[in-house]
Structure 1
């Protein structure tokens, strides 16, 4: 690529901003486009003309009295621009004046890129100055040709009649375009207001007018005297901050509009997209989100219900194991209590005999008492009753612990957003899931030193229970499930790894889809991972999976420390 072409292509944005600044400074921006893209296109057109000339010949295109500039390919851009600007009502003087600043823009780029006095080993001073002079001369001649072609096109004998026709046609086209965009603006269901620097309404669409006056007619504001009041006093604080900082944020308000019930409104503020600074007002967009909020509330209730149902299904799945764990200690507690009842009956009988003997003062001899004591096994009872009580208390503690784990898992008293120790939460869930795991795998854990986080404990319990149960069900014979926690600067990470059969690639891409399951009929709803995915997303985190056929899978949950 030629060095000049490379320079122009690389600095397209700089050229666009430079001519924009010249136009604003010299007041040409009153007659030019307000959009950045229009300025960019004009720079691209001029750059293309320069590069086209460069491709044909690197020597400067000197002027000749024999040249026909209207048909000159290098000056074609000038002819096209003459036709376009003439039809827009731009005068020859106005266009040529602006073209001088376009020329100046390109020369400024050369001065910036090849400053006089620059010296380096690679580019000696005389070579730098020669390049600048050569490229400047080349660009000057290209602009000369474009401007001459413009004047030639403008000065043709039939130009005046054609210009009048073009102006009339352009005026009709502009009017139609204006009406089209006005119709689009008026038809928008979202309220849009244009405010000036004093925050007064300059323009608003039909939806905006109806927010202020329910009886407003479409187009009424456009064709009548504008209302200069400041819209909606409840916007004042946020609008003031926007005028000061330009920070584009969204705000929600619960308001009562004229002749309407209470509604919720989403407000957004935007600056005018005008790089020429002709229009310095601000755009205020107000959207009635009442129905959306109702739908979100209903959706949240539905999601809560589905999560609850899935949680109940998981607990139901574990119920048999939990019942077995409770039945074991309860079995020997009941057996021990039955033995204690018999022991009490024997002790009571022995004590009654002694009481009767004492009351009648007929104290039997030692042999008789020993015989009764042996018959009733008093010595054995005295020793065994201690063990029965200890064993029963231990069983009762086990039942109490299981019930406490279930209570902690359900978190009935912590359904709201709260600060928790995630390691402790995972331990509880591991204990609940143990009955599903212990017959197929050993359960290992490596808990790191992690900070507490704010979360919905019930929901996270559901996620980790689901992942642990899935890991157990993925293992056909004996295997290992490993739970790890660690953190970095921003996140807490939890991984659950199993040594099961792994997940097929075709299933891996779909496992988080609702109702998609690879389990046998009756063993899965296909909602567990989908719900888990939604819960983690709701916490601002992510859940990902890595799997290898024959080796197992790892599910990793990442949660932000600060949300």
Structure 2
């Protein structure tokens, strides 16, 4: 059993993930792959697990049999599963095999850089042969499917992708907090219904995603949407956003006071860069949360914590308008507290001495 080689592979999952991601980015494969880092990590995790299982076999043979590779072979099985998964997504065999060569190269690089010098050639040979077995398995599976089956699988996958897209679009549109997706130039690519209503740019869900201007027109053909700069849509946020866009301000969250038409609104602003390792969807996510009611409530709490004018004799309290109010009325108007009146024993004895 190749315990040292197995340990090397399993302890360098992050390194392998970053290596294949670098190769994929450098050679243009990220245009057709996942945008999230976790998907790349899982691909390395699954591949390393299959290789480790094979290396643990007591009588490991990495030579290519003249007959078909047994489906019980862990690496061959991995190749078959990945072939089916990517074929259904519309990935061509040529494209998948080409990227798979860089997966192989990533493992070769790891061995070359970190494995024991005296065991490098043997390790490279074994890993290379295991990748050969995977490739033979996935190629056999890929070409075994008839054209009708391939077309059917693609249709099913496309429906699933459309449904998933619609689900997340619905979640985005249903959010009560205004949300904006802004491209690297600062132009608003998309906004949800709450954002449209807040900026008075629309009142129907999906208006930004399915704009009327893109309906085929006999006179003008398909229209184009004029994207607005976030500084024009939200001029009161222009300074902070430009600082963020120019990397002066990091990913952050802050509170902003906005006065418009004599009304004051407080927003909690959240700005972050898109988590896209493929760089297909570079840009910024902007989320606004109206916290006006919360801010006013906290201000009231702060008022109650300060100096409160109270009459030394009747115990009435002076409000902000200069009027004297009963203590109960004063506190109830500034909190959610309500009073229920009773009588303490001392007052009972003082005012009603004849009652037991």
Same fold (TM over 0.5): yes
Q: Please point out which of 171, 177, 181 is paired with 1:184.
A: 171
8 A contact 1:248–1:269 mirrored in 2: yes
Alignment of 1:22-421 (within 5 A): 22-57=23-58, 59=60, 61-114=62-115, 128-156=116-144, 158-213=145-200, 215-224=202-211, 226-231=225-230, 232-245=234-247, 247-256=250-259, 261-304=263-306
Shift of 1:76: 0.8
- Tell me how far apart the structure 1 counterparts of residues 72 and 253 of structure 2 sit (CA, whole Å): 55
In structure 2, the CA distance between the partners of 1:230 and 1:59, relative to structure 1 (3 Å rule), is: same
Measured in 1, the distance between the counterparts of 2:66 and 2:13 equals 33
**Greater than 6 Å deviation, 4+ residue runs:** none
RCO greater where, 1 or 2, for CA within 8 Å and sep 6 or more?
A: 2
Counterparts in 2 of 1:285 and 1:131: CA distance versus 1, 3 Å: same
Q: Which region of structure 1 is more displaced relative to structure 2, 190-199 or 27-36?
A: 190-199
Give the match's secondary structure for 2:282.
Answer: coil
Q: 2: distance between equivalents of 1:177 and 1:129? A: 48
How far is 1:216 from its partner? 2.4
Q: What's 1:485 paired with?
A: none
Q: Distance in 2 between matches of 1:55 and 1:213?
A: 64
Task: Please state how far the C-alpha of 1:302 moved relative to its aligned partner.
Answer: 4.3
Report SS of the residue matched to 1:155. helix
Cα shift readout 1:413-456 (whole Å, capped 9, x = no counterpart): xxxxxxxxxxxxxxxxxxxxxxxxxxxxxxxxxxxxxxxxxxxx
Tell me the alpha carbon deviations over residues 493-530 of structure 1, each in whole angstroms, 9 at most, x when there is no partner.
xxxxxxxxxxxxxxxxxxxxxxxxxxxxx9xxxxxxxx
In 2, Cα distance between equivalents of 1:260 and 1:210: 19
Shift of 1:269: 1.1
- Structure 2 alignment gaps of length 5 or more: 214-224, 313-344, 346-356
Partner in structure 1 of residue 323 of structure 2? none
Residue 68 and residue 60 in structure 1: after superposition, are their counterparts in 2 closer, same or farther (change >3 A)? closer
What is the TM-score normalised by the length of structure 2? 0.77
Structure 2 Cα separation of the partners of residues 14 and 260 of structure 1:
56
Q: 1:304 to 1:8 in 2, by over 3 A?
A: farther
Contact preservation (8 Å) 2:178, 2:192 = yes
- Name the one with the larger helix percent: 1
Counterpart Cα distance in 1 of 2:128 and 2:59 = 13
Gaps of 5+ in 1: 115-127, 313-521, 523-563
- Give the SS at the match of 1:255: strand
Contact 1:35 1:275 in 2 (8 A): yes
Q: 2:5 maps to what in 1?
A: 4
Shift of 1:73: 3.1
Instruction: Provide the C-alpha distance between the structure 2 equivalents of 1:39 and 1:102, rounded to a whole number of angstroms.
Output: 11
Tell which deviates more after alignment, 166-175 or 291-300.
291-300
State the alpha-carbon separation in 1 of the partners of residues 82 and 262 from structure 2. 53
How many angstroms apart in 2 are the aligned matches of 1:215 and 1:53? Answer: 58
Please give the per-residue CA displacement for 1:219-245, whole angstroms capped at 9, x wherever unaligned: 111111545111212222211221222
Alpha-carbon distance between aligned partners in 1 of 2:259 and 2:282, rounded to the nearest angstrom: 30
CA deviations over 1:267-306 (Å, ceiling 9, x no partner): 2210000112222111111111111212222333345589
What is the root-mean-square deviation of aligned Cα atoms in Å?
A: 2.5
Aligned partners of 2:54 and 2:60 also within 8 Å: no
